[in-house]
Chain A
Amino acid sequence: MEITRREFLKSSIAATTAATVGMPLIQGAQAASEDFEADWQWDKGVCRFCGTGCGIMVATKKGRIVATKGDPDAPVNRGLNCIKGYFNGKIQYGKDRLTQPLMRMTDGKFDKKGKFTPVSWEQAFDEMERQFRKAYAEKGPAGVAVFGSGQYTIQEGYASAKLMKAGFRSNNIDPNARHCMASAVVGFIQTFGIDEPAGNYDDIEHTDTVVSWGANMAECHPILWSRVADRRLSSDDVKIVNLSTYANETSNIADTEILFKPGTDLAIWNYIAREIIKRDAVNHDFVDKHCVFATGPYDIGYGMRNTDKYAFDAEKDIMAKELEVTLTAEEAIAQRRKTGEKVKQNNTKKPVKHWLITYEDFKEALDPYTLDFVSQLAKGDPDESLDDFRAKLKLLADLYIDKGRKVVSFWTMGFNQHYRGSWINEQAYMVHLLLGKQSMPGNGAFSLTGQPSACGTAREVGTFAHRLPADMVVMNPKHRARSEQIWKLPPRTINPKVGSHITKIMRDLEDGQVKFAWVQVNNPFQATANANHWLKAAREMDNFIVVSDPYPTISAKVSDLILPSAMIFEKWGGYGNAERRTQMWREQVPPPGQARSDVWQAMEFAKRFRLKDVWGEQMVPGLEAEGFESGKLPDVLDKAREMGYSPDDTLYDVLFATPENRKFKWPDKVAKGHDNHTVKAGALDWFPEKALYQEYVQFGRGHEHDLADFDVYYRDDVRGLKWPVVDGKETEWRFNEKYDPYVKKGSGFEFYGKALKELPTGDLDKPTSKEKTSLAGKAKIFFRPYAAPPEQPDDNYDLWMCTGRVLEHWHTGTMTRRVPELHRAVPTALFYMHPKDAEDRGLKRKDVAMVESRRGKVQAVVETQGRDDPPRGYTFIAFFDEGVLVNKLVPDITCPMSKETDFKKCAVKVRKA
């Protein structure tokens, strides 16, 4: 390239950069940049990666993405992108992009032991249909399953959930978001009766204290972190605390770093709560008006299987704890029991049940959590002095309690992926509610989301085994009836029995209960803990696994049929981020080869089934619900006939191409010249992404989940809107009368969520009266005790291991490892350990180590310096690298309430490989 052209390019790029971040342009630069981009078409989009939900601008030229930049008008990121976001334009151009369906075949026929061979879509769907029918005939709705996603677009999640729940009458659809957000959801529902955060990202600019708990925000929510950094630098009064089990990048700008022992966060919250009471800092006015106190059982197990039939010998000792736990000395103090007491886990089936207690009981329960007890229990760095650690805990309590201070607590996976993840979420609200520092600008407990649409799709659309759209659940007859009405289904079509959560779907594959599974927009065979079991189940059990993906992931490689999917800017879609902001984009470029959108795939598959195939009587083992015969879903075909359906109508006709939906015509002027390959491939005259969305919004309107119309999100002056959107206005802070139209006038605050708002009363151990009290409009302050992690280092497996993410890679690396810049920046997952621990094992930096747990082993390169700095006894490794499958090591221990896996705590031994 000539010098002049290069100089010209550089000044154009500088000008665009300056304009993007809102700096005034130097003379002449504006013209230069316009000239340079003359034949590009810019349009707004959303980042494909994390739950921050940054706005990006995408430039296309001749059907290809040529540039991306941070969207200067996006309130989330104001023109900035982190390094992943910046490469959004490259992820679709990996050289191993899948462009045609591939099926395992021998001699031209499907064979589970065969080799992957290109087939047509027709052949692919033929075999899929055959296998689905076989599984459905043998096992009924419980024998088929969908691995869904927090990265589904809103429309994809909606289409899949509707096909499964309304069409196949199966609740076996559960997203990878179970692994990242489920504990947060339980925390919200239990505390407020409604899901998702009260605040928004502007809390960062309004607050003067940011406490990050178990969240490496600097790497995992980088743009939010840059806002925190800006805020910190704006004033010396602003304080930042990083609570973590190891030192990480988030500590860099923190004023205080607190390293605690895994699991003891439960005790630290209780210490803070005890201090609040001791120092008479409870905001009694707020608490009396808006809160009640509650607790629940402690003997709830750890979400493991209750049989060791399938277990490896080495993991049986841990699995036995699902049935009975021997209390440690610390647990005995924390739970007011005796050391060594054996506690049968009697409430594993009902871990969520809870009851009201008095403030006096609540105070008594907190009594053991003194600074002495908690500092000794929780100190995480053996090389730190107890006095220093005590001082830090005290400072933390001071910051929360200081009346003049606003406080925001952020957390992500350190809390959610926790054997008591739901409890720890509830505890965050406990402290904020006691202080009255909740639901107001700059004050609040704020659960951050990992995935780009864990909120917008997985949670709001409800692609979970127990959920329906807009916070409704399949167990609730009124919710089923409302869904059946919107979906125009005969009464009692929807299955009232909760389906299998994502880890249970894996267990079902292993024990032969699920025989057909469809993986959509995720990579569960890399991302699910205790992977050796599931990899074997996929390849050796009698089942059929379909994977829709743009790239050959591990899940694709162990499947039977691979369907090539369109990626983000190759289709129309919408995401919802962690601050309730719904954002949408247009199709920018066509997908390559025969790759197709997931919406198209769901609709095509639906064409293959008629009502008479699925709406007759169905066996559902274990189904018990009022109005249903035990173990059975009724035949609803007669009712369907009365509603004007024919038993020969296909699920496509009844669920997707309904007369109402076909009224949304394609072409549509909102497209502004952009294409829609889903329309083209299906030869449609209607606009499925818009029609499905407009159908979906009916669930939430008037029910505290109002979304705006489709076209509104495409307006040039809109960069997403935070729901509930009422009378065209978004809601900044929920539950606060000043901002939230749902709050009763004159109440100040109202926690109006409706779920779980009728409770019995009891003492700290049990409910004592059956009579239920209504808590309408109130939030619950829970007491939850410290409980020890079920797996901890011992003489044999002597180190802690934690897994997580790095800045440069997204989840299992399917997209980011195919961007050379990102791959080169972090080519492999490094095993971070303390130099002394390495030395004790004869290891140096860059040596290859064999890391082994009770469940498997992997080899990884040792790192003893750099961005993570674990204390002695502790190690960290990221899970993005398919060459280092760390999930082989991690146990499938889950929070018993949320069923979310604890990916953060396991015991390993390490030697030179």
Chain B
Amino acid sequence: MNISGILVVAGPGRLDTVKEQLGRLEGVDVHQHDPASGRIIVTLEAEDVSGEVEGLKRIKALPGIVLAEMVYHYFEDDPHPVSELPPELDEVDGLEGIRVPAALRD
């Protein structure tokens, strides 16, 4: 499980609609906001790692949003923070990972 803290900035006059839309996104909780600056703090929870990135993309795609950036990243409970490698890197079995990759041979 991954939880991130995200700062969202809504465009002028868009705070309420943005908040409402954020609330409807899966895994997103709106925690607090500042009407003067249009800033909103949300958390994003995702089952797996890619969900986190997808979630941020969904937030960024909402209309009326000026900025959405991750601020805080929590992964203490993730016992294997790196569980997946690109296939051409993922040949690590003993020292096999050090093979010269096929891409270099042609």
Partners in one complex: yes
Q: Report A's interface with B, CB cutoff 8 A.
A: 1, 6, 9-11, 13-18, 20-21, 23-24, 26, 61, 66-70, 79-83, 86-87, 89-90, 93-96, 102, 115-118, 222, 226, 229-230, 233, 535, 539, 552, 554, 556-558, 562, 813, 817-825, 827-828, 857-858, 881-885
Report the separation of the CA atoms of residues A562 and B53 in the bound assembly, to the nearest whole angstrom. 33
Report the separation of the CA atoms of residues A403 and B49 in the bound assembly, to the nearest whole angstrom. 51
- 16 CB contacts below 8 A, A to B, read A6-B1, A10-B3, A13-B74, A14-B42, A20-B71, A61-B76, A70-B71, A81-B71, A86-B4, A116-B98, A118-B95, A562-B98, A817-B89, A820-B50, A824-B53, A885-B103
Do A67 and B73 touch across chains, with their CB atoms under 8 A apart? yes
The residue in chain A whose Cβ has the minimal distance to the Cβ of B69 is A80
Do A557 and B100 touch across chains, with their CB atoms under 8 A apart? yes
Do A824 and B85 touch across chains, with their CB atoms under 8 A apart? no
The residue in chain A whose Cβ has the minimal distance to the Cβ of B57 is A825
Report the separation of the CA atoms of residues A885 and B85 in the bound assembly, to the nearest whole angstrom. 18
Report the separation of the CA atoms of residues A116 and B91 in the bound assembly, to the nearest whole angstrom. 14
Do B53 and A16 touch across chains, with their CB atoms under 8 A apart? no
Report the separation of the CA atoms of residues A82 and B71 in the bound assembly, to the nearest whole angstrom. 8
Question: Given A17-B72, A96-B89, are A554 and B49 also a contact pair (CB < 8 Å)?
Answer: no
* Contact with B85, one of A16, A17, A90, A818 (Cβ below 8 angstroms): A818
Question: Given A10-B45, A16-B5, A17-B71, are A828 and B86 also a contact pair (CB < 8 Å)?
Answer: yes
Q: Say whether B19 faces chain A, with CB atoms less than 8 Å apart.
A: no
Do B67 and A17 touch across chains, with their CB atoms under 8 A apart? no
Min distance, Cβ A373 to any Cβ of chain B, angstroms: 40
Report the separation of the CA atoms of residues A694 and B87 in the bound assembly, to the nearest whole angstrom. 45
* Contact with A554, one of B5, B6, B86, B101 (Cβ below 8 angstroms): B101
Do A818 and B11 touch across chains, with their CB atoms under 8 A apart? no
Interface string of B47-75 (1 = CB under 8 A from A): 00110110010000000001101111111
* Contact with A13, one of B5, B34, B67, B85 (Cβ below 8 angstroms): B5
Do A66 and B76 touch across chains, with their CB atoms under 8 A apart? yes
Do B97 and A16 touch across chains, with their CB atoms under 8 A apart? no
Do A14 and B104 touch across chains, with their CB atoms under 8 A apart? no
Report the separation of the CA atoms of residues A557 and B101 in the bound assembly, to the nearest whole angstrom. 8
Complex interface: chain A residues within 8 A of B39 (CB)? 21, 23
The residue in chain A whose Cβ has the minimal distance to the Cβ of B77 is A1
Report the separation of the CA atoms of residues A749 and B30 in the bound assembly, to the nearest whole angstrom. 51
Do A556 and B98 touch across chains, with their CB atoms under 8 A apart? yes
* Contact with A226, one of B4, B69, B101 (Cβ below 8 angstroms): B69
Q: Say whether B31 faces chain A, with CB atoms less than 8 Å apart.
A: yes
Do A821 and B52 touch across chains, with their CB atoms under 8 A apart? yes
Min distance, Cβ A8 to any Cβ of chain B, angstroms: 11
Do B75 and A67 touch across chains, with their CB atoms under 8 A apart? yes
* Contact with B71, one of A79, A562, A817 (Cβ below 8 angstroms): A79
Report the separation of the CA atoms of residues A421 and B7 in the bound assembly, to the nearest whole angstrom. 38
Do A13 and B72 touch across chains, with their CB atoms under 8 A apart? yes
Question: Given A67-B75, A90-B81, are A820 and B49 also a contact pair (CB < 8 Å)?
Answer: yes
Do A229 and B69 touch across chains, with their CB atoms under 8 A apart? no
Do B82 and A882 touch across chains, with their CB atoms under 8 A apart? no
Do A817 and B73 touch across chains, with their CB atoms under 8 A apart? no
* Interface size in chain B (residues, C-beta < 8 A): 54
The residue in chain B whose Cβ has the minimal distance to the Cβ of A57 is B72
Question: Given A552-B97, A558-B104, A821-B50, are A17 and B86 also a contact pair (CB < 8 Å)?
Answer: no
Complex interface: chain B residues within 8 A of A818 (CB)? 82, 85, 89
Do A89 and B73 touch across chains, with their CB atoms under 8 A apart? yes
The residue in chain B whose Cβ has the minimal distance to the Cβ of A26 is B32
* Contact with A820, one of B1, B66, B71, B84 (Cβ below 8 angstroms): B84
Min distance, Cβ A567 to any Cβ of chain B, angstroms: 13
Question: Given A17-B7, A554-B104, are A95 and B73 also a contact pair (CB < 8 Å)?
Answer: no
Min distance, Cβ B90 to any Cβ of chain A, angstroms: 8
Do B41 and A18 touch across chains, with their CB atoms under 8 A apart? yes
Complex interface: chain A residues within 8 A of B31 (CB)? 10-11, 14-15, 18, 26
Do B82 and A81 touch across chains, with their CB atoms under 8 A apart? no
Report the separation of the CA atoms of residues A825 and B86 in the bound assembly, to the nearest whole angstrom. 12
Do B69 and A82 touch across chains, with their CB atoms under 8 A apart? yes
Do A17 and B104 touch across chains, with their CB atoms under 8 A apart? no
Do A93 and B82 touch across chains, with their CB atoms under 8 A apart? yes
Min distance, Cβ A506 to any Cβ of chain B, angstroms: 15
Do A96 and B104 touch across chains, with their CB atoms under 8 A apart? no
Report the separation of the CA atoms of residues A117 and B96 in the bound assembly, to the nearest whole angstrom. 10
Do B101 and A882 touch across chains, with their CB atoms under 8 A apart? yes
Complex interface: chain A residues within 8 A of B11 (CB)? 233
Question: Given A1-B77, A83-B70, A96-B89, are A821 and B53 also a contact pair (CB < 8 Å)?
Answer: yes
The residue in chain B whose Cβ has the minimal distance to the Cβ of A21 is B7
Report the separation of the CA atoms of residues A229 and B60 in the bound assembly, to the nearest whole angstrom. 14
Other A-B pairs, 9, CB within 8 Å; known A16-B5, A81-B70? A10-B3, A18-B31, A20-B5, A23-B32, A67-B72, A93-B81, A229-B66, A557-B99, A882-B101
Report the separation of the CA atoms of residues A289 and B84 in the bound assembly, to the nearest whole angstrom. 61
Complex interface: chain A residues within 8 A of B20 (CB)? none
Report the separation of the CA atoms of residues A562 and B69 in the bound assembly, to the nearest whole angstrom. 37
Q: Say whether B25 faces chain A, with CB atoms less than 8 Å apart.
A: no
Report the separation of the CA atoms of residues A561 and B70 in the bound assembly, to the nearest whole angstrom. 39
Report the separation of the CA atoms of residues A18 and B106 in the bound assembly, to the nearest whole angstrom. 52
Question: Given A11-B31, A21-B71, A90-B81, are A558 and B89 also a contact pair (CB < 8 Å)?
Answer: no
Report the separation of the CA atoms of residues A52 and B100 in the bound assembly, to the nearest whole angstrom. 34
Min distance, Cβ B31 to any Cβ of chain A, angstroms: 4
The residue in chain A whose Cβ has the minimal distance to the Cβ of B32 is A26
Report the separation of the CA atoms of residues A825 and B98 in the bound assembly, to the nearest whole angstrom. 25
Do A10 and B49 touch across chains, with their CB atoms under 8 A apart? no
Min distance, Cβ A538 to any Cβ of chain B, angstroms: 10
Min distance, Cβ A217 to any Cβ of chain B, angstroms: 14
Report the separation of the CA atoms of residues A6 and B86 in the bound assembly, to the nearest whole angstrom. 31
Complex interface: chain B residues within 8 A of A885 (CB)? 103-104
The residue in chain B whose Cβ has the minimal distance to the Cβ of A556 is B98
Report the separation of the CA atoms of residues A824 and B82 in the bound assembly, to the nearest whole angstrom. 12
Report the separation of the CA atoms of residues A824 and B83 in the bound assembly, to the nearest whole angstrom. 11
Complex interface: chain B residues within 8 A of A14 (CB)? 5, 29, 31-32, 41-43
Min distance, Cβ B84 to any Cβ of chain A, angstroms: 4
Report the separation of the CA atoms of residues A629 and B18 in the bound assembly, to the nearest whole angstrom. 75
Complex interface: chain A residues within 8 A of B95 (CB)? 102, 115-118
Report the separation of the CA atoms of residues A26 and B31 in the bound assembly, to the nearest whole angstrom. 9
Report the separation of the CA atoms of residues A94 and B88 in the bound assembly, to the nearest whole angstrom. 14
Do B101 and A13 touch across chains, with their CB atoms under 8 A apart? no
The residue in chain B whose Cβ has the minimal distance to the Cβ of A525 is B104
Min distance, Cβ A559 to any Cβ of chain B, angstroms: 10
Complex interface: chain B residues within 8 A of A828 (CB)? 86
Do A823 and B99 touch across chains, with their CB atoms under 8 A apart? no
Do B50 and A825 touch across chains, with their CB atoms under 8 A apart? yes
Complex interface: chain B residues within 8 A of A61 (CB)? 76
Interface string of B1-41 (1 = CB under 8 A from A): 11111110001100000000000000001011010000101
The residue in chain A whose Cβ has the minimal distance to the Cβ of B1 is A1
Complex interface: chain A residues within 8 A of B89 (CB)? 96, 552, 817-818, 882
Complex interface: chain B residues within 8 A of A558 (CB)? 100, 104
Report the separation of the CA atoms of residues A397 and B92 in the bound assembly, to the nearest whole angstrom. 55
Report the separation of the CA atoms of residues A81 and B72 in the bound assembly, to the nearest whole angstrom. 9
Min distance, Cβ B4 to any Cβ of chain A, angstroms: 7
Report the separation of the CA atoms of residues A824 and B69 in the bound assembly, to the nearest whole angstrom. 18
Complex interface: chain A residues within 8 A of B7 (CB)? 17, 21, 79-80
Do B32 and A96 touch across chains, with their CB atoms under 8 A apart? no
Complex interface: chain A residues within 8 A of B101 (CB)? 554, 557, 882-883
Complex interface: chain A residues within 8 A of B87 (CB)? 883
The residue in chain B whose Cβ has the minimal distance to the Cβ of A90 is B81
Min distance, Cβ B25 to any Cβ of chain A, angstroms: 14
Do B41 and A90 touch across chains, with their CB atoms under 8 A apart? no
Do B5 and A226 touch across chains, with their CB atoms under 8 A apart? no
Enumerate the 6 nearest inter-chain pairs by beta-carbon distance, A residue then B residue, closest first.
Answer: A17-B5, A14-B31, A824-B50, A96-B92, A825-B53, A883-B88
Do B43 and A13 touch across chains, with their CB atoms under 8 A apart? yes
Report the separation of the CA atoms of residues A89 and B89 in the bound assembly, to the nearest whole angstrom. 20
The residue in chain B whose Cβ has the minimal distance to the Cβ of A117 is B95
Do B43 and A10 touch across chains, with their CB atoms under 8 A apart? yes
Question: Given A93-B82, A552-B98, are A80 and B72 also a contact pair (CB < 8 Å)?
Answer: no
